[in-house]
Amino acid sequence: MEVVYSNQLVSVFNGFKQSTPAKDMTFAEFIALGSIYKDQISQVRDAATKEERSRLKALLPSATIAGTFHPTRQDGALQQPSFLMCIDIDKKENPWCHDWQQFKDWLCEGDDHIFFASISVSGEGLFVVYPITHPELFELHYKAVERRFAAYDITIDASCKNVSRLRVLSYDEQPYWNEFATPFDEVYKEPAALPPAPMQPQQPTPAQQPFQASQRPQPYATANYQGQDYQRPYSERKGSTVIDKVDKCCSLITQHGIDITSSYDDWYKVGMALASLGEQGRSYFHTCSRQYPRYSYQETNLKFDNFLRTRNTIEIGTFFQICRDYGICFKE
């Protein structure tokens, strides 16, 4: 029998501070309440303080997306699983995102496991719903999704791995629905422990030599990104063969005003590829990002910080490939 995810039952509560459900309804019926509470949700998004926002959110209906809970909302009281799992992507953990509608479109286009996605009640985040194959392995499913998102430098709210987690009602004029979403069956497995390194024979410590002034390390040179250093003419820059090639591509990008970061996917790949150069890749990332009409220095800089912390297998060759896709080549 084919599961219709929008007809799966959830327990609805009169506010997220309540522990006893008011009623059970289908997931689609709960989402439809958003149009009824549209004005109250707008007040949440317009609230001037965090305290005021929390007070207003507490007045909105909330639901346990993972299923129905009776007689109270706690993990052991799950009565009927919905085979649905909800995740949060919030501004707090992902401050680089400034267009949640665009991000939602990009995310749903590339993930056929997503059944539903909507702007969150705050207006600064998403809630995304996955169908899952094994509700009894809810937390392991969640941690597997968490690992998938981390590979794209996206942080999801770890607290949502709790099966009895409440979802506050929201409203989105253009929510994403996909009744034919592929159920998510991946579960998290702890990485295998590495064998201990073999003992190495201890080498005798050489006699300490007097410190010479010439041995003093030079200060680490970083560009003044708030100033003009990163805008120096490319002909004045010196570096390795790879850097020279990157310089040439960025020179052509600037000269012709070519935006190779118009999609989030390309922006991500360009940034990750340039992060393989280390800190010196930062100025090149700004150069590429600056061609985008809504370029933000702060957003780009913060994003590159994240790339440096979460390096993966994307190397500089990906940057050159994307450049070639736009007709840019470091060769004459």
The verdict on whether omega for the bond into residue 71 sits within 30 degrees of 0, i.e. cis, is yes
**pLDDT tens profile 212-269:** 333 333 332 333 333 333 333 333 444 457 888 898 999 899 888 899 998 888 898 9
pTM, to two decimals: 0.62
CA 253 – CA 270 distance, rounded (Å)? 13
CA 70 – CA 203 distance, rounded (Å)? 67
101 contacts 22 by C-beta, under 8 angstroms:
no
63 contacts 17 by C-beta, under 8 angstroms:
no
CA 95 – CA 2 distance, rounded (Å)? 39
Determine the pLDDT at residue 235: 38
Q: What are the C-alpha distances in Å from 27 to residues 12, 53, 68, 73, 292?
A: 10, 25, 11, 17, 38
∠ at Cα 197 (193, 203), nearest 5°?
160
Determine the pLDDT at residue 24: 97
53 contacts 47 by C-beta, under 8 angstroms:
yes
CA-wise closest residue to 100 among 142, 152, 42, 154: 154
**pLDDT tens profile 184-197:** 999 988 665 555 55
323 contacts 271 by C-beta, under 8 angstroms:
no
Sheet containing 116-119: give its strands across. 84-90, 125-131, 116-119, 176-177
- At 185, which amino acid appears? D
- At 248, which amino acid appears? K
Q: What are the C-alpha distances in Å from 127 to residues 85, 89, 154, 266?
A: 10, 6, 13, 23
Q: Which residues of the chain have pLDDT under 50?
A: 204-239
